[in-house]
Amino acid sequence: MACGVLYAVRSVFQDDEGQAEGRAGGDMVVYAYDTSRGQELPVQIPFPNPYQYISSIDYNPRDNQLYVWNNYYVLRYPLQFTPPLPTKGFSDPMLTNLGVKP
């Protein structure tokens, strides 16, 4: 959850069935829900999963990073947000990119 938007990854496993079938979602954030407006938001944000098993994800608004416990490794993902789109009417900035800092 960041800026009032709930983001979800499809699977905690790198080799989930969607990826094996060639569908998007194996290593992507594929769902977002704007809690202030009650709307689902279309997203496809790359979400690297280098150690194949994610057991915990936590956002820290103080340093604007996502902390991931991934198969005994702690990873930090610096987050980038874009301003809200006036034509879309979203009230909160949208997460657009994250990178890995092991």
8 Å CB contact between 2 and 95: yes
pLDDT score recorded for residue 74 = 94
Element (H or E) spanning 40, and its range?
strand 39-41
pLDDT score recorded for residue 92 = 53
Domain boundaries defined on the chain: 5-98
pLDDT score recorded for residue 100 = 45
Angle at CA 14, nearest 5°, toward 9 and 20? 100
CB-based burial, 15-24: b 16+ in 10 Å, e otherwise: ebeebeeeee
Per-residue pLDDT of the chain (102 residues; tens, 9 = 90+): 888 889 888 766 655 555 555 544 457 888 899 998 899 988 888 888 888 888 889 999 999 899 999 889 999 989 887 776 665 555 555 566 665 444
pLDDT score recorded for residue 35 = 92
> Cα torsion for 39, 18, 52, 34, to the nearest 10°?
0
pLDDT score recorded for residue 102 = 40
CB-based burial, 73-88: b 16+ in 10 Å, e otherwise: eebbbebeeeeeeeee
pLDDT score recorded for residue 38 = 93
